[in-house]
């Protein structure tokens, strides 16, 4: 079993399997999946064109061009949600700093411990002298030092690699935050056709598990894009690129923070949850469906999982003809193990390759 265990506690688990999802709407599939195409709704067509060219099948290409559904955006959601979201569950949480042991789980399921120097939150923020209280939310799922590596594949073709990590903590607006970083890269085979080097960062409140800042740096082929979002949780505002402002509900989530927030929520088979999510200038209502439990095998090992389906309830964005599913470990960690998205021909899979975590 792909299980991480120390003398302090057990942290691994396993995963269930499940169906088809929106063209890589699966969590991490920004088609990163075809890991080779533009991020965002406005870039869906180019991803479609790329797939058609790679398949060298005109009929296949025409079918994709005619589809209204934007697989690219939902994939982006999946990878940066990397994916689902649920009901807010507020409770007190103890922020833990200065962890010294790091646990590594790889394909052979062996566990090794190494000394690591975890960045601790600074004692104060130089810009805001007073620590401002907000909601508290229990988090037993993740902490500084977590690093997840995924392989992205279209059928038997390996297209690239994705990572999700929490390298350190930082202060934002007078609050201690997890610094979360995700990356996506096409492999050497695909680089000549469409080189992808994407990086997304967010800063999540350590006590309330909601975002304060978000950065997206897209480098895909000749296309480049940089976006900056500030979540003013004190005044319930979202500011994009320092100019466009939108009023939002308290503690609204972002695409990437939503994924980490969902990992902290108790999941019960047959239940569903709703959450408001902000992305690209709009608020997208998300419904999270909890389907079943299943054991799955991926390069990182075998895991008992719970299967979740994120559904974006927005006209023109989500189409029931495509679905995505995410397998999370059925334990307190809720580590994403497998993400699947059914496309017209085949499916795009994101499979966990390696886990590095620190014991609580």
Percent of the chain with pLDDT strictly greater than 70: 60
Residue that wins the pLDDT comparison between 245 and 91: 245
- Inter-CA distances, 137 with 94, 147, 198, 262, Å: 9, 22, 30, 12
Q: At residue 214, does pLDDT exceed 80?
A: yes
Confidence at residue 38, expressed as pLDDT on a 0 to 100 scale: 36
pLDDT tens digits, one per residue of 90-103: 222 322 333 333 33
> What whole-number distance in Å separates Cα of residue 26 and Cα of residue 327?
10
Confidence of residue 21 (pLDDT cuts 50, 70, 90): very low
Confidence of residue 352 (pLDDT cuts 50, 70, 90): very high
> If you average pLDDT over every residue of the chain, what do you get?
71
Q: At residue 154, does pLDDT exceed 60?
A: yes
Confidence of residue 146 (pLDDT cuts 50, 70, 90): very high
**Is residue 151 within 8 Å of 161, Cβ to Cβ?**
yes
Confidence of residue 341 (pLDDT cuts 50, 70, 90): confident
Q: At residue 318, does pLDDT exceed 80?
A: no
Residue that wins the pLDDT comparison between 322 and 161: 161
> What whole-number distance in Å separates Cα of residue 121 and Cα of residue 178?
9
**Is residue 160 within 8 Å of 186, Cβ to Cβ?**
yes
Least confident of 63-77, 237-251, 273-287: 63-77
Q: At residue 314, does pLDDT exceed 60?
A: no
What average pLDDT does range 321-339 have in this prediction? Answer: 90
Least confident of 81-95, 136-150, 182-196, 284-298: 81-95
Which DSSP letter does residue 126 get?
S
Domain boundaries of the chain, sorted by first residue: 41-357
Q: Is 43 exposed, middle or buried (0-12, 13-18, 19+ CB in 10 A)?
A: buried
Confidence at residue 155, expressed as pLDDT on a 0 to 100 scale: 85
Confidence at residue 23, expressed as pLDDT on a 0 to 100 scale: 31
> What whole-number distance in Å separates Cα of residue 180 and Cα of residue 201?
6
Q: Which two tokens stand for residue 187?
A: 């492999």
Which DSSP letter does residue 75 get?
H
Q: What is the pTM of this model?
A: 0.66
Confidence at residue 284, expressed as pLDDT on a 0 to 100 scale: 83
> What whole-number distance in Å separates Cα of residue 66 and Cα of residue 277?
28
Start-to-end Cα distance in the chain: 21
What average pLDDT does range 223-241 have in this prediction? Answer: 94
């Amino acid at each position: 079993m792909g299980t991480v265990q120390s003398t302090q506690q057990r942290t691994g688990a396993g995963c269930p399997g499940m169906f088809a999802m929106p063209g890589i709407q699966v969590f991490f599939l920004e088609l990163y999946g075809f890991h080779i195409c533009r991020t965002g709704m406005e870039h869906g067509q180019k991803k479609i064109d790329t797939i058609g060219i790679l398949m060298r099948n005109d009929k296949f290409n025409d079918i994709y061009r005619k589809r209204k559904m934007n697989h690219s955006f939902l994939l982006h959601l999946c990878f940066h949600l990397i994916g689902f979201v649920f009901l807010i569950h507020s409770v007190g949480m103890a922020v833990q700093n200065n962890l010294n042991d790091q646990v590594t789980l790889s394909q052979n399921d062996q566990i090794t411990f190494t000394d690591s120097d975890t960045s601790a939150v600074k004692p104060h923020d130089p810009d805001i002298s007073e620590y401002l209280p907000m909601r508290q939310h229990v988090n037993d799922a993740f902490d500084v030092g977590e690093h997840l590596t995924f392989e992205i594949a279209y059928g038997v073709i390996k297209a690239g690699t994705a990572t999700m990590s929490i390298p350190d903590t930082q202060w934002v607006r007078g609050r201690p935050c997890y610094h979360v970083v995700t990356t996506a890269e096409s492999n050497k085979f695909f680089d000549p056709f469409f080189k992808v080097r994407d990086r997304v960062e967010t800063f999540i409140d350590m006590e309330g598990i909601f975002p304060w800042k978000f950065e997206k740096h897209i480098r895909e082929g000749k296309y480049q894009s940089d976006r900056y979002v500030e979540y003013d949780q004190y005044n319930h505002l979202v500011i994009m690129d320092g100019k466009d402002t939108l009023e939002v509900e308290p503690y609204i989530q972002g695409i990437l923070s939503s994924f980490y927030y969902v990992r902290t929520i108790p999941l019960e088979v047959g239940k569903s949850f709703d959450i408001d999510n902000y992305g690209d200038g709009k608020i997208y209502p998300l419904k999270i469906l909890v389907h079943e439990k299943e054991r799955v095998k991926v390069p990182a090992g075998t895991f008992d999982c719970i299967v979740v389906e994120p559904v974006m309830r927005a006209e023109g964005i989500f189409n029931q003809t495509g679905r995505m599913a995410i397998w999370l470990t059925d334990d307190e960690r809720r580590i994403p193990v497998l993400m699947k998205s059914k496309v017209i021909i085949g499916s795009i899979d994101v499979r966990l390759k390696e886990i590095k975590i620190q014991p609580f």
